[in-house]
Amino acid sequence: MSFRNKIFLIFLATVLASVSLVAYGVTHYTESAFEQEDSQRTEALVAQFKKEFDQRGEMVVQQVENITNADVTVRMVLDLARPNADSSLYLHDANGAAQTHNLDFVEFVNSDGALISSAQYPARVGYKNDWVTASKNWDGTPAFLKREELPDGVALSLTAVRTQTVGDKVVYVIGGRRLDQNFLASLVLPAGMRALLYRNLDQGFVASALTDANGPVSQADQFQPLIEQVQKQSTPEMLVKTIQWTSDPASAETFHARPLTGRHNELLGVLLLGSPQRELVLLRRQILKTAAVVALAAIFIGLLLAWWVSKRITRPVEELANGARDVASGRWDTHIDVQGKDEIGELAAAFNHMTNTLAAQKEKLVQTERVAAWRELARRLAHELRNPLFPMQITLENLQRARNLGPSQFNEVFAEGTATLKAELANLNSIVGRFSDFSKMPAPQFTRVNVNETLRNAVRLFEPQFNAVGKPAITTEYFLTESLPEIDADPDLLHRAFQNLVLNALDAMPAGGTLTLRTSDRDDTVRIEVSDTGKGLTPEECSRLFTPYYTTKQLGTGLGLAIVQSVISDHHGTISVSSEEGRGATFRIDLPKRQQNASVKPKPEAPAAVPETDRAPAATD
Amino acid sequence: MANVLLQRQALPATALLPQWLSGYAFLLGTPMNLDRAKQIRSDLPANIAGGTDPLRLRVDAVGDLMKLLGERVAVNARQANISIQLVSHSAPSSAGANTPAPTVGLHLFAWRYDSLSPRAELLDFARYLHSESGSESLPDTPDPEKLYAEERRLLDGRQVLPLLLLPDYVGIAPGVRNWSVSPSGEWRLADVWLDSGEPSASTAESPQSRNAAAGVHP
C-alpha cells in the first residue's frame, strides 16, 4: 500500500472516528438532556397532581368540618347528650348530610364508637367503629385513605374525621369521597397526562381493580409487574416504568406509580400517572436522523479533505523518492523543487544539499581515481616494459662487444642476440597488445544467451590443462540448473568473462583441486558461481581484487578480473567474491534476465560455437 | 335491627305467631350466642354455609326498608363468619305466594297476619314451608298446647327464623294529627286529634293496621 493511501486511510479513519464520536456524543448528550427535561416535566406534573390530590383531601376535610359544624349536627349532639337519648332517630341523617355536602361517605359515630348513622352502609348502624375512638385528636388530622366496607363490596375512600363536642358528649363525623373513575375524572390533570388508580383491596394483582377516568383499563395486565413491584415494597416509594403498548416505540407511556397508603402505612392503592413518550421518541428519531445526515456530510467532506491532505503531504515525499531514485541511477546532480519551511521542506533542502555534496565529492573522487589510475598504469607499464628492455639492452651490449670477436663467434652471438631481441620485441608487442585490448573493450551486443552452454564452452577450453601430464589434476563439478532461462547478454563478452574466472581459478590451484560451477534461477536474475579450492584471499585482497592492474600473481597484469567486472557491469549485473583464507574463493555473478532499454538481436539459428579467438585459452590476468 | 334500623317501631320476634295472637310466644325465645354461632360455623365444611362462596339472600319486598334489613342480616351473619350476598328480586312478592328460587339459599320475606286465628296462621305457615304433616291434627278450636307444639315443630325445623314484628300502616289522612301505633299494633287513638282546618275525617282513608312478621326462610 502506498504512503498516500496509508495517509488517506489514516486521515479518513480519524475523520470517521471523530465524526462518529462527536455524533454519538451529541446524540447521547441531546437525548440525555431531553430525557432529563422530560423527567423534570413529569416530576413537575406528578407534583402538580399530588398538589391536586392534596387539595381534594383538604376539600374533604373542609366538607366534613362543614357537616360537623352544621346546626343539625350540633342539635343532634345536644340531643344525644341527654340521658336516655334515642340515637335511632338520626338513622338517616348521614345520608342527608352526604347529599347536602356532596360526599360519597358520611357516618356519625357515638362516643362509645357505635355507629349512629351511615350514608353508605346503614345496615351497620349500631356496630362499633373502634378505630375512630382510638384516636383522641382528629381535628388536626388531614384526610387519609381508608378501606371502606360497603354492602356490595369494598371501596377506597379519601376520608377525614372531625368531632363535635357538647359537654361530655362527643360525636365523630366521618366523611369521604370514593376514589374511583369519577374521582379521577374530576381531577384537573396536566395536558397529555392521564391518571390511573389501582385499588389494592385484594391479594395479588386484580386487573378489574385498575381504572382510569373512563372506566376499566384495557391491557391492564401490562401493569401487573409494576403493581406487584409496588406491593412487594417494604417502604412505599414511587416507581417508574415505561410500557410500550404496540410495536411502535412512539406508543410508549411512562408511568409513575405512587403508592397510596392508609393511616397505618398499609398499601391501599396505587396511583399511576402516565406520561406519553410519543414526543420524546419522535424527537429522538429526529435527532438521530439529523445526526446521521450531519455525519454523512462530515464523512463526505472528510473524504475530500483526506484526499487533498494526503496528496498535499505525499507530493513532496514522492518528489524526494523520485530524486533518490535519480541519485541511485547515477544522476547525482538531482535537485528537488519543494517549497515550504516545514519538516518536508527541510528534508528537501537537506536532500538537495546532499546531492550537491555527493556530486562534488564524486567529481573529486573521479579526479583522484583518474590520477591514481594513471599512476598505476604508468607504474605497471614501466614495470612491464622494463622486463623485456633489460635483456634487450644486454643483448645489444653483447652484440657491440662481439664486433671484436671472430666471424664465427660473432655470427653465433649475432644469431643468439637477434633471437633474443626478436623474442623480447614479441614480448613487448604482446604487452602492448594486452593493454590495447583492455582499452578497446567493445560495447555488448545483446542477444538471447544460454548461460549454462556458455559456461560449459568456457570451461571446455581449459580441460586439457586440468589433466596435463606433470601437473596436479583439477576436477570439475557442475551444479547447473537446466531450466535456467535464456538471458539478454553478449555471448562473446560473457564467454571472455567466464574464461577469465576459470583461468583465475586455475591459477589459484597450483597444487590441484576442485573447480565448482553452479547456476541458479533467482526471480529477475540468474546467478553464476565459480569456486575453487585454492589458498583463498584475505579481506584486503577481496576488496581490491577488481581494481585494474591489481594482481597477486608474479606474472599477472591485473586486468583479468577488471575485464570480468567491466563485462558484468556492461550487462547491468553485479559480481562479488567471498573467500576464507585456506578454503578457496567463490566468485558470484548476478545477471539480469532482461536488459531494459537495450536492443536485443534475435538468437542465431545455430548456436554459437566457441569463438575462434577462444579456441585456445586467451584469458588475461 | 328493631331499635335502630326500625327506630323502635318493631319488636324482636322469637316465634312465628306474635304474643298477642298466640299467648305463648315468650316460651319460644332463644338467646343470641355469637360464640356458639362461630363454633357451629367453624365445625362445618368451608364450602357450605357461606364459608368460601357467599350465601345468596333474596329480598322479596319492594323498597329500601327490606333491602336495609337484608343488609343487616348480612352484617350480623358476618359476625359469625358467614358471608351473605343480597340478590335483587325482579318479580314483585306478596305474602303467601312466595316460591323461593332454587339458586337462592336465603329468603327474606314479610309475613302478613291476615287472620286473628292462630290455627289458621300456623296452617298458612306450614303450607308456605311445605310442611303440613303435623298441621293436619290441629283441632278446629284453638288448643294452645297443640298450637305451641306445632309452632315448636316448625321452628325446630330450622327452615324459618322469625326476626321482627312490626306494624303495617296503610294510610293516614292529612288532617289526622298525633296518630301513632304501639309496637303490638294497637292504635293509640287517645292522643289522636283532627286538624279543623283540614278536610273532615270522612275524606281520609280508614287507617288499617296489621301486624306483620319479617323472617328469614332458609
Collect all residues with Cβ–Cβ distance below 8 Å to A127 and sequence separation of at least 6.
Answer: A114, A115, B75
Mutate to test the interface with B, among A125, A149, A150, A154 (most CBs of B within 10 A): A125
Residue A492 has pLDDT above 80, yes or no: yes
A3-69 and A278-328 helices cross at what angle (nearest 10)? 160
Is 0.95 surpassed by the pTM of this model? no
The confidence score (pLDDT) of residue A393 equals 87
Q: Give me the sign of the Cα torsion angle A595, A601, A606, A611.
A: negative
pLDDT at A581 over 90: no
Q: Which residue in A has a C-alpha nearest to residue B76's C-alpha? A: A124
A560 burial type by CB count under 10 A (0-12 exposed, 13-18 middle, 19+ buried): buried
Neighbours of A220 (CB within 10 A): 19
- Which is higher by pLDDT, A67 or B171? A67
DSSP state of B137: G
Nearest residue to A559 via CA among A461, A473, A472, A433: A433
Question: Coil, strand, or helix at residue A126?
Answer: coil
Query: How does pLDDT run across A37-60, given as a tens digit for each residue?
Result: 877 877 777 787 778 888 889 999
Taking residues A250-266, report their average pLDDT.
86
The most confident of the ranges A368-372, A486-490, B203-207 is: A486-490
Q: Taking a contact as any Cβ pair under 8 Å apart, which residues of chain B between 76 and 135 contact chain A?
A: 86
User: Mean per-residue pLDDT for B162-166?
Assistant: 87
Tell me which residue in A91, A123, A124 faces B7 most closely, judged by beta carbons.
Answer: A91
How crowded is residue A420: how many other Cβ atoms within 10 Å of its Cβ? 18
Residues of B in contact with A86 (CB under 8 A): 7-8
| Confidence grade of residue B87 (pLDDT, cut at 50, 70, 90) | confident
Q: Is the dihedral of CA B164, B165, B169, B175 positive or negative?
A: negative
Higher pLDDT, B141 or B156: B156
pLDDT over 90, % of chain A:
21
The predicted pLDDT at position A521 comes to 93
pLDDT-derived band at B49, boundaries 50, 70, 90: low
What is the number of structural domains in chain B? 1
Kindly indicate the confidence band of residue A485, based on its pLDDT and cuts at 50, 70 and 90. Answer: very high
Are the beta carbons of A93 and A72 closer than 8 angstroms?
yes
| pLDDT over 60 at B80, yes or no | yes
CB contact under 8 A, B72 and A89: no
Mark which residues 86-145 of A lie under 8 Å from B by CB. Answer: 86-89, 91, 121-127
* Residue range B140-155: mean pLDDT, rounded: 82
Nearest to A287 by CA among A529, A33, A38, A553: A33
Query: Please, which residues bridge with residue B211 across strands?
Result: B167
Residue A323: pLDDT band with limits 50, 70, 90? confident
In the prediction, which pLDDT does A526 show? Answer: 94
- Cell numbers at B144, concatenated: 294452645
Q: Is residue B5 situated within a structural domain?
A: no
Q: Distance from A242 to chain B by nearest Cα, in Å?
A: 38
Put simply, whether B168 touches A (Cβ < 8 Å) is: no
Grid cell in block for residue A419 = 633471437
Whether residue B85 is contained in a domain is answered as: yes
pLDDT-based confidence at B96, cuts 50/70/90?
Answer: very low
| pLDDT over threshold 80, residue A65 | yes
C-alpha cell at A549: 592492474
Average the pLDDT over A13-29 and give the result.
83
Q: How far is B50 from chain A (nearest CA, A)?
A: 15
Single out the residue of A483, A502, A490, A504 nearest to residue A568, CA to CA. Answer: A490
Backbone angles phi, psi at B95, to 5 degrees: -65, 140
Residue B53 lies in a domain: yes
- Cβ separation A88–B74 shorter than 8 A: no
The nearest CA of chain B is from the CA of A169 a distance in Å of 20
Cell of B216: 328469614
Q: Picking from A418-427, A543-552, B202-211, which range would have the lowest pLDDT averaged per residue?
A: B202-211
Under the banding of pLDDT at 50, 70 and 90, the label for residue B91 is: very low
Instruction: Kindly list the distances between the CA atom of residue A311 and the CA atoms of A302, A343, A513, in Å, as whole numbers in the listed order.
Output: 14, 16, 62
Instruction: Determine the residue of chain A that is closest to B85 in CA distance.
Output: A152
Higher pLDDT, B50 or B30: B30
Q: How many beta carbons lie within 10 A of that of residue B90, not counting itself?
A: 5
Greater pLDDT, B195 or B62: B195
Distances (CA, A) of B62 to A137, B92, B93: 43, 7, 8
**All cell numbers assigned to A75:** 342539635
Residue B148 sits in a domain whose CATH number is 3.10.105
Check residue B51 and give its pLDDT.
62
Q: For residues A183 and A177, is the Cβ–Cβ distance under 8 A? A: yes
| pLDDT one-digit tens code per residue, B173-189 | 888 888 877 655 677 78
Q: Above 90 in pLDDT, residue A489?
A: yes
Cα B186 to Cα B206: distance, rounded to the nearest angstrom: 15
CA gyration radius for chain A? 60
Q: Reply yes or no on whether the pLDDT at B198 is more than 80.
A: no
CA distance A182 to A187: 9
The rounded distance, in Å, linking the Cα atoms of A409 and A275 is 146
Do A123 and B4 lie within an 8 Å CB cutoff? no
The better pLDDT of the pair B39, A609 is held by B39
- A-proximal residues of B, 43-82, CB under 8 Å: 68-72, 74-75
pLDDT above 50 (res B92)? no
Contact B5 A125 (CB under 8 A): yes
Q: Would you say A159 and A60 are in contact if contact means Cβ atoms under 8 Å apart?
A: yes
Q: Mean of the pLDDT values across residues A460-464?
A: 86
Q: What is the pLDDT of residue A287?
A: 82
Please write down the long-range contacts of A614-618, taking CB distance under 8 Å and 24 or more positions apart.
Answer: A614/A457, A614/A458, A614/A461, A614/A495, A614/A496, A614/A499, A615/A461, A616/A461, A617/A461, A617/A462, A617/A465, A617/A499, A617/A503, A618/A499
Whole-number Å distance between alpha carbons of A197 and A213: 9
pLDDT, tens only, A472-482:
889 999 999 99
Share of chain A above pLDDT 70, in %: 95
pLDDT at A163: 93
Among B residues 1-30, those touching chain A with beta carbons less than 8 Å apart: 3-5, 7-8
Residue B156: predicted pLDDT: 84
Per DSSP bridges, beta strands B106-112 and B55-59 are parallel
Contact A139, A158 (CB under 8 A): no
Q: Given this model, what pLDDT does residue A96 score?
A: 92
pLDDT of residue A94: 93
The beta-carbon neighbor of A151 closest among B4, B5, B86 is B86
Region A455-484: what's the mean pLDDT?
88
Residue A258 has pLDDT above 90, yes or no: no
What is the C-alpha separation between A155 and A177, in angstroms, rounded? 10
Full DSSP string of A178-239: E-SHHHHHHS-PPTT-EEEEEE--SSS--GGGEEETTEEPTTGGGGHHHHHHHHH-SS---E
Q: What is the 3-state secondary structure (H, E, C) of A576-589?
A: EEEECCCCCEEEEE
Q: Which residue has the cell 347529599?
A: A99
Residue B138, pLDDT above cutoff 80 = no
CB A534 within 8 A of CB A513: yes
Top-confidence residue, A40 or A451: A451
Domains and CATH numbers, chain A: 70-178 (3.30.450.20), 189-276 (3.30.450.20), 343-436 (no CATH), 442-614 (3.30.565.10)
The residue among B210 and A20 whose pLDDT is bigger is A20
3-state DSSP assignment of residue A493: helix
Spatial contact of A65 and A162, defined as CB atoms under 8 Å apart: yes
Q: Tell me how far apart the alpha carbons of residues A505 and A582 are, in angstroms, rounded to a whole number.
A: 14
Question: Which pLDDT belongs to residue B205?
Answer: 41
pLDDT value of residue A235: 79
Q: Does A204 touch chain B (CB under 8 A)?
A: no
Contact A424, A550 (CB under 8 A): no
**Which residue of A107, A124, A154 is the best one to mutate when testing the B interface, meaning the one whose CB has the most B CBs within 10 A?**
A124
Domain hosting B105: range is 11-217
Its ipTM equals 0.72
pLDDT at A63 over 90: yes
- Of the pLDDT bands very low, low, confident and very high (cuts 50, 70, 90), residue B216 is low
- Binned at pLDDT 50, 70 and 90, residue A517 comes out as very high
Identify all chain A residues contacting B86, using CB atoms and an 8 Å cutoff.
151-152
The yes-or-no verdict on residue A515 having pLDDT over 70 is yes
B6, part of any domain: no
Res B169: pLDDT: 64
Smallest Cα distance from A201 to chain B, Å = 17
Residue A607 has a pLDDT of 47
C-alpha distance from A70 to closest chain B C-alpha (Å)? 23
Give residue A4's pLDDT: 77
Q: Which carries the bigger pLDDT value, residue A1 or residue A455?
A: A455
Whether B147 shows a pLDDT value over 90: the answer reads: no
Window A:47-86, CB contacts with B under 8 Å: 86
Confidence at A231, pLDDT banded by 50, 70, 90: confident
What pLDDT does residue B204 have? 37
How high is the pLDDT of residue B102?
Answer: 46
The pLDDT tens digits for B97-136 are: 444 444 668 888 888 887 888 888 888 888 887 755 555 6
- With beta carbons under 8 A apart, name residues in chain A contacting B68: 122-123
Checking if the pLDDT of A101 tops 50, the result is yes
Q: For the segment A22-36, what is each residue's pLDDT rounded down to a tens digit? A: 888 888 888 788 778
CA pair distance A442, A430, nearest whole angstrom? 19
Position of cell 456524543?
Answer: A25
Least confident range from A209-213, A265-269, A428-432, A554-558: namely A554-558
* HSE toward the beta carbon, residue A243, CA cutoff 13 A: 19
Mean pLDDT of the region B78-86 = 85
| pLDDT: which is higher, A268 or A233 | A268
Asked whether the beta carbons of residue A123 and residue B75 sit closer than 8 angstroms, the reply is yes
d(CA A451, CA A589): 12
Pairing of strands A513-522, A574-579: unpaired
The lowest-confidence range among A229-243, A572-586, B191-205 is B191-205
